A and B are shown apart, each in its own frame.
Chain A
């Protein structure tokens, strides 16, 4: 069977990673000053990661996505185990235990956990059992709370925050009552002061306070860099060559500021447009899917992607606190890119298995076209 993958989605992924590479190129040229190639260049590393990521995307998109349904619990359990192991024996980098190091490879289990959680939640919610009552909400909430708790003590507040809208959106798409969801949100807001006093590290509080009252150095530099871009930008590579604004971790968390400074309003709006097209397309795939697991999967992954994007670009533009979240497909980093590619692959997979339906309601609403239908199949059905 020849599968039809959504070309718009693929184009968005490639263009976004291309923008990321462009920004990295300006920050870390692949050759040193004498023109010798740099083996350590993060640009070359990112090109390698991208190659790997595209391969992973293909691999994930190839077998029928329902196969992942059966794997979801195993994957979830393994990653939960890894997160526990990380807390016990992980190495502290920049004050947090986020990384596993296996030989030359470092990876963050929390990144993969995001995708695994969406798979598990889609599996649990697909039949919508008791979804209208509180009873049906207990299991999905517990499944989200376990990794969230493990990730928050790493401490990685950013990733934990991502899991909440993902859970809510999947509950919503699965048909939970709006009243229940509203109560959940209200409880979480009420719990915020408790988390503030008991759960947060000093530096996390500082970040939020400084965001609200006096923006920190990193963020104010980033905002300035973005605004210097004005309409058409300062030109590719200008930000690095002039080093007008020194922004720590510019190539990972603050990569959007490079694009905004170098390519200006046009370039940064183009990235926003690509991102909008990306999640519009993937939500369209969710909408078209007749099969609840696939639909929930697409919804969950899209929310994950969108939330992460909002927070990252928001912090670059000075409208959200610094959380250490990367910009999917664009930021430097293997784990982040791999996670983004896996979720894109899964959405493509769902989109490629779209089956036309013959429900009278769909036919009447016109949301299904039967143009793609094979005549032989119709003939066979007619018998």
Chain B
């Protein structure tokens, strides 16, 4: 073997080494002028580029929320103060506002310097005064004025950015939600980093010093996240990932150059099952002095078609940099609670429509037959005055002979007192829970109320629960989910707003006989001459359902409900309408339900017969 070859190799390796040394001599000892010029004349800063947030679209592709380009004005303090100019009036800011904004920027600079070692402070202070800081967002026409004559406004820098816009304003605000700023601190930033708000490798790319610098400059204060509803729920999808650029500015001129290191990754759009025009129609139907809400679901897969609560707000008011805290506190003080959707975030007494659950419980437990005749004497028990049928309380009347169909049709309390007494709280509660009451339905929106259903109690509790009173509390959405199960053949659906987000329906093992008996009863409510909702236009749309007049607040009218579906021969839509303290369900809630169905299915000719 040839050991001299090893010596040859040493020589071979030393040659490129010499080359590198020569390059060092060339770079470090022979060329200096150009780079010293660079040093003096160029200012570089690392900046975060916001990604374009995904759009929210309704089922027909109409845009409910989008990012629109706008112009922001930044200010370089050193240049502005060297040559004060009428920038404030160009931006339509009062001198006080302008002064306040400038003081805000100085505060930020102060924050950066005060923790640094003494010897660095002056340098950082100088550097930051040469850094553009955000002065005003969305400056509209002023952008053109500054761009056209930059020499008139030294220190002003106009940059393009994005602004969240909700074109439909108040419409469906409870579903869409709004954005807010993240108050950045180190832990929050780490959390964002871990949740994938920045691209992978962000930390490695920019280095800790880079992060610290951005952090100190308040770059992460500007992070926008979804604060409520869909904007919050699908924030990770909508948001996209921030990019990084280097901004290189020539000192004393406004010439600048951006060098893209990592492009921003735009967010993904979210398509909804909502039809915004139906939503608009339903909101119009429910407009008025009464507090109301309505839910329209697809009976088979749980898609939400409309979700209405008739006191609303404009999510555009919350878009930063607006004073969202003031907007929010004003809305919170409003007695009608416009921030809250009564369709799924608030719960109410249910009343008679819960008799559907009691019927299913009774029939499935076989404690009562559909054709079994019970007698309503107006009063269930002479001694217990609070167990009266509504017909006694109002007309001192009685229903006399009632079967299940008639009990549903006429909403007879005495019949259900008896059924409740026979079947007990546990069985009713079990069916109630199975059909969607007592816990959130799983709608893909944050803050859903769960309602309340008693799980056990004495005989009297069972009787009260049987007619939907007692401690039972429900949301209109839960009522719709229950009715959907009746409509679609006994499957519990999960309501959802995002298209394609369907959870498979859960079969509840309700026997076909039970379902057909209950459906017949619901048919009679709207079609039979003594049905509680018979003289409405509901039958034009082949709608069936159950009314409810739930006693809630002492001394006030009862809550009016109508929960039903249409058409009865091929169920498509489930509609739940709720009016707070409005009166009788048949009078108050059934007519708007018919109007909603008209909006959904188009107007029908005058009813036959």
Check A317/B209 contact, CB under 8 A, given A172-B5, A173-B9, A243-B44. Answer: no
For this complex, into which size category does the number of interface residues on chain A fall?
Answer: 35 or more
Complex CA gap A276/B1 in Å reads: 26
Pair B208/A268 contact, Cβ less than 8 Å:
no
Pair B9/A169 contact, Cβ less than 8 Å:
yes
Q: Is B512 an interface residue (CB 8 A)?
A: no
Q: Is B570 an interface residue (CB 8 A)?
A: no
Complex CA gap A310/B20 in Å reads: 8
* Cβ-Cβ contact count across A and B, 8 Å cutoff: 138
Q: Is A28 an interface residue (CB 8 A)?
A: yes
Which of A27, A128, A174 touches B209 (beta carbons < 8 Å)?
A27
By a CB distance below 8 angstroms, the chain A residues around B204 are 249, 252
* Contact indicator per residue, chain A 253-276, by CB within 8 Å of chain B (1) or not (0): 000000010001100110010011
Q: Is B81 an interface residue (CB 8 A)?
A: no
By a CB distance below 8 angstroms, the chain B residues around A241 are 120, 123
Complex CA gap A303/B1 in Å reads: 19
Pair A228/B24 contact, Cβ less than 8 Å:
no
Binds B, one of A38-46, A197-205, A348-356: A38-46
Complex CA gap A302/B6 in Å reads: 11
By a CB distance below 8 angstroms, the chain A residues around B83 are none
Q: Is A19 an interface residue (CB 8 A)?
A: no
Please provide the chain B residues from 1 to 30 with a CB less than 8 Å away from any CB of chain A in the complex. 1-3, 5-10, 13-14, 16-17, 19-21, 23-25, 27-29
Q: Is B90 an interface residue (CB 8 A)?
A: no
Complex CA gap A240/B212 in Å reads: 12
Q: Is A81 an interface residue (CB 8 A)?
A: no
Complex CA gap A314/B23 in Å reads: 9
Please provide the chain A residues from 208 to 265 with a CB less than 8 Å away from any CB of chain B in the complex. 217, 223-224, 226-231, 240-246, 248-252, 260, 264-265
Which of B21, B28, B120 has the most C-beta atoms of chain A within 10 angstroms of its own C-beta?
B28
Pair A283/B205 contact, Cβ less than 8 Å:
no
Q: Is B115 an interface residue (CB 8 A)?
A: yes
* Contact indicator per residue, chain A 300-312, by CB within 8 Å of chain B (1) or not (0): 0011001000100
Please provide the chain B residues from 149 to 204 with a CB less than 8 Å away from any CB of chain A in the complex. 186, 200-201, 204
By a CB distance below 8 angstroms, the chain A residues around B32 are 227, 230
Pair A40/B208 contact, Cβ less than 8 Å:
yes
Pair B20/A272 contact, Cβ less than 8 Å:
yes
Pair A27/B27 contact, Cβ less than 8 Å:
no
Complex CA gap A21/B23 in Å reads: 24
Complex CA gap A279/B20 in Å reads: 15
Complex CA gap A313/B17 in Å reads: 10
Complex CA gap A309/B110 in Å reads: 44
Specify the chain A residue showing the minimal Cβ separation from B31. Answer: A227
By a CB distance below 8 angstroms, the chain B residues around A28 are 207-209
Pair A279/B13 contact, Cβ less than 8 Å:
yes
Check A94/B201 contact, CB under 8 A, given A248-B206, A250-B207, A265-B29. Answer: yes
* Contact indicator per residue, chain B 28-57, by CB within 8 Å of chain A (1) or not (0): 110110011011000010100000000000
Pair B6/A173 contact, Cβ less than 8 Å:
yes
Pair B23/A319 contact, Cβ less than 8 Å:
yes
Pair A217/B28 contact, Cβ less than 8 Å:
no
Pair B116/A33 contact, Cβ less than 8 Å:
yes
Which of A251, A275, A306 has the most C-beta atoms of chain B within 10 angstroms of its own C-beta?
A306
Pair B9/A41 contact, Cβ less than 8 Å:
no
Q: Is B259 an interface residue (CB 8 A)?
A: yes
Q: Is B216 an interface residue (CB 8 A)?
A: yes
Pair A317/B208 contact, Cβ less than 8 Å:
no
Q: Is B210 an interface residue (CB 8 A)?
A: yes
Pair B24/A272 contact, Cβ less than 8 Å:
yes
Q: Is B246 an interface residue (CB 8 A)?
A: yes
Please provide the chain A residues from 268 to 299 with a CB less than 8 Å away from any CB of chain B in the complex. 268-269, 272, 275-276, 279-280, 283, 286-287, 292, 295, 299
Pair B6/A286 contact, Cβ less than 8 Å:
yes
Q: Is B88 an interface residue (CB 8 A)?
A: no
Pair B28/A175 contact, Cβ less than 8 Å:
no
Q: Is A2 an interface residue (CB 8 A)?
A: no
By a CB distance below 8 angstroms, the chain A residues around B326 are none
Specify the chain A residue showing the minimal Cβ separation from B114. Answer: A33
Q: Is A130 an interface residue (CB 8 A)?
A: no
Which of B2, B17, B39, B46 touches A175 (beta carbons < 8 Å)?
B2
By a CB distance below 8 angstroms, the chain B residues around A268 are 24, 28
* Contact indicator per residue, chain B 204-244, by CB within 8 Å of chain A (1) or not (0): 11111110110010000000000000000000000000000
Complex CA gap A317/B31 in Å reads: 13
By a CB distance below 8 angstroms, the chain A residues around B290 are none
* Contact indicator per residue, chain A 153-178, by CB within 8 Å of chain B (1) or not (0): 00000000000000001001111000
Pair B5/A173 contact, Cβ less than 8 Å:
yes
Pair A172/B209 contact, Cβ less than 8 Å:
no
Interchain nearest-CB distance for B184 vs A (Å): 14
Which of B17, B23, B216 touches A275 (beta carbons < 8 Å)?
B17
Q: Is A34 an interface residue (CB 8 A)?
A: yes
Interchain nearest-CB distance for A117 vs B (Å): 18
Q: Is B261 an interface residue (CB 8 A)?
A: yes
Q: Is A93 an interface residue (CB 8 A)?
A: yes
Check A224/B38 contact, CB under 8 A, given A246-B246, A310-B16, A313-B20. Answer: yes
Pair B115/A264 contact, Cβ less than 8 Å:
no
Complex CA gap A280/B10 in Å reads: 7
Pair B44/A244 contact, Cβ less than 8 Å:
yes
Pair A27/B10 contact, Cβ less than 8 Å:
no
Q: Is A369 an interface residue (CB 8 A)?
A: no
By a CB distance below 8 angstroms, the chain B residues around A260 are 24, 27-28
Specify the chain B residue showing the minimal Cβ separation from A128. Answer: B1
Interchain nearest-CB distance for B203 vs A (Å): 8
Complex CA gap A304/B205 in Å reads: 27
Interchain nearest-CB distance for B149 vs A (Å): 32
* Contact indicator per residue, chain B 240-277, by CB within 8 Å of chain A (1) or not (0): 00000010000000000001010000000000000000
* Contact indicator per residue, chain A 24-50, by CB within 8 Å of chain B (1) or not (0): 000110001110001011100000000
Interchain nearest-CB distance for A241 vs B (Å): 6
By a CB distance below 8 angstroms, the chain B residues around A42 are 207-208
Interchain nearest-CB distance for B147 vs A (Å): 26
Complex CA gap A250/B204 in Å reads: 9
4 further contact pairs, Cβ within 8 A, besides A173-B9, A227-B35, A280-B14: A33-B212, A243-B213, A283-B6, A317-B27
Mark B residues whose CB is within 8 Å of A: 1-3, 5-10, 13-14, 16-17, 19-21, 23-25, 27-29, 31-32, 35-36, 38-39, 44, 46, 115-116, 120, 123, 186, 200-201, 204-210, 212-213, 216, 246, 259, 261
16 contacts between A and B (CB under 8 A): A33-B212, A93-B200, A227-B31, A231-B29, A243-B44, A260-B24, A260-B27, A265-B25, A272-B20, A272-B21, A276-B14, A287-B3, A299-B9, A303-B13, A310-B17, A319-B19
